[in-house]
Amino acid sequence: MFVTRQLPVDPAEVLEGHRVEVWPDPGPPSAAVLRERAAECDALLTLLSDRVDASLLDAAPRLQVVANYAVGFDNIDLQAARTRGIWVTHTPGTLTDATADLTFTLLLAVARRLPEAEADARTGDFGHWSPTAFLGLELAGARLGILGFGAIGRAVARRARGFGMKVRYSSRSPIPPGEREGAEPADFDELLATSDVISIHAPLTESTRGLFDAAALARMKSGARLINTARGPIVDESALVAALESGQLAGAGLDVFEDEPRVHPGLVGRSDVVLTPHIGSATTEARRRMARKALRNIAAVLDGREPPDPIPGSHPQRATTP
């Protein structure tokens, strides 16, 4: 099998008896290198930055399983894998709290204008205290709108409740009352119009790609903040820059980007924007859980069993499980 990046655990801990090749460089292998390495492999462990499409799968006739080191899977052509009899797995439940923690880190930093205040303090002489300096948003009583109310969205709601925020959510699936974490349902337009902060936790699909475009941002409450720790292409970054420049929005916190790893140049120099390089799952504990879960999925398939974490709807048409 081939692992496209070094992991925070030794693959041999899980895959005893299997030959494992790990890409040694910090950056991803090129598409050509990935095809070359996959050609003789029965398993691949991939990252979101690795494009797994029909041409790659055709170059790997022995491939039985692709284990994505992520909860999301928009980098993989699921239909192409399914029709070729290849399992595709992911790592659900491994990064919920880590991503929710980062979401709230960004939310607090944007609400309290932390980049501006910290830069001022680092001058070494920030002058006299002023009653009107660095005025931000007090979270107690503020309205948080959550788009997407899966495990991470609900974890963010729990944290918001601890800060005294009023939480509403918009979800494509009905949420039972007992799982709402004190939040109230709302449609997307209500979320835009009433939220002081909107936090995005929806998957990237054809319906969510570019969802936060110029029109949607214009419908947001004036002076609101936008947080995105889900997928970058859900937000039109050019439209976001324009909304910040006009004062329609008061700030943004982004861990993911439309053309990752490139960041829109209009965002880079703004003191009302907090930027992090896709570190939502970057805790030692979460990254180790992700690695072990991905490797266990591979081990199951190579041992002739159904993997524990197949992506829903991706069961191969020519599965080899007994």
CA 147, 151, 153: angle at the middle one, nearest 5?
25
Q: What are the φ/ψ torsions at residue 252 (nearest 5 degrees)?
A: -150, 150
Segment 280-285 mean pLDDT = 98
Nearest to 258, CA basis, from 243, 274, 239, 271: 239
Residues 5, 82, 159, 231: which is the catalytic one?
Answer: 231
What pLDDT, on the 0 to 100 scale, is given for residue 320? 45
Tokens of 90: 């992911």
**What value does the CA radius of gyration of the chain take, rounded to a whole number of Å?**
22
Q: Which pLDDT score, from 0 to 100, does residue 178 have?
A: 94
Q: Do 2-94+283-302 and 96-275 come out as alike in CATH topology?
A: yes
Give 184's pLDDT tier (boundaries 50, 70, 90). Answer: very high
Per residue in 102-146, pLDDT (tens digit) is 999 999 999 999 999 999 999 999 999 999 999 999 999 999 999
The residue behind tokens 């199951």 is: 300
Q: What is the DSSP string of 225-279?
A: EEEE-S-GGGB-HHHHHHHHHHTSEEEEEESS-TBTTB--HHHHT-TTEEE-SS-
Cβ 86 vs Cβ 302: under 8 Å: no
3-state helix, strand, coil in the chain (%, to 5): 35, 15, 50
Rounded Cα–Cα distance for residues 9 and 159 (Å) = 30
pLDDT at 68: 98
Q: Which CATH class is domain 96-275?
A: alpha beta
Instruction: Look at residue 321 and tell me whether its pLDDT is greater than 80.
Output: no
Exactly one of 260, 288, 296, 315 is catalytic; name it. Answer: 260
Q: What pLDDT, in 10s, does the model give residues 200-209?
A: 999 999 999 9
Count of CA atoms in the C-beta half-sphere (13 A) of 289: 15
Give this prediction's pTM. 0.91
Domain boundaries, the chain: 2-94+283-302, 96-275
CATH fold label, 2-94+283-302: Rossmann fold (3.40.50)
pLDDT per position as a tens digit, 10-40? 998 899 888 999 999 989 999 999 999 999 9
pLDDT above 80: residue 322: no
In this structure, the number of other CB atoms found within 10 A of the CB of residue 279 comes to 14
Residue with tokens 């140049």: 265
- Per-residue confidence at 317, pLDDT binned at 50, 70, 90? confident
pLDDT tens-digit map of 224-279: 999 999 999 999 999 999 999 999 999 999 999 999 999 999 999 999 999 999 99
User: Which residue from 236, 241, 197, 238 is spatially nearest to 220, judged by alpha carbons?
Assistant: 197
Q: What is the pLDDT of residue 314?
A: 82
> Is 260 annotated as catalytic?
yes
pLDDT given for residue 319 in this prediction? 46
The residue from 18, 161, 278, 315 that is catalytic is 278
Considering the chain, what percentage of its residues have pLDDT values greater than 70?
Answer: 98
In order of 56, 65, 86, 287, 306, the CA distances from 291 in angstroms are 22, 15, 20, 6, 18
Instruction: For residues 155-161, give the mean pLDDT.
Output: 98
Q: Does residue 214 register a pLDDT over 60?
A: yes
CA nearest to 227, candidates 201, 198, 202: 198
- Residues contacting 43, CB < 8 A, separation 6+: 1, 2, 18, 63, 64, 65, 66, 67, 298, 301, 302
The C-alpha atoms of residue 70 and residue 68 are separated, in whole angstroms, by 5
Which pLDDT score is estimated for 318?
Answer: 59
Report the mean per-residue pLDDT for the chain.
95
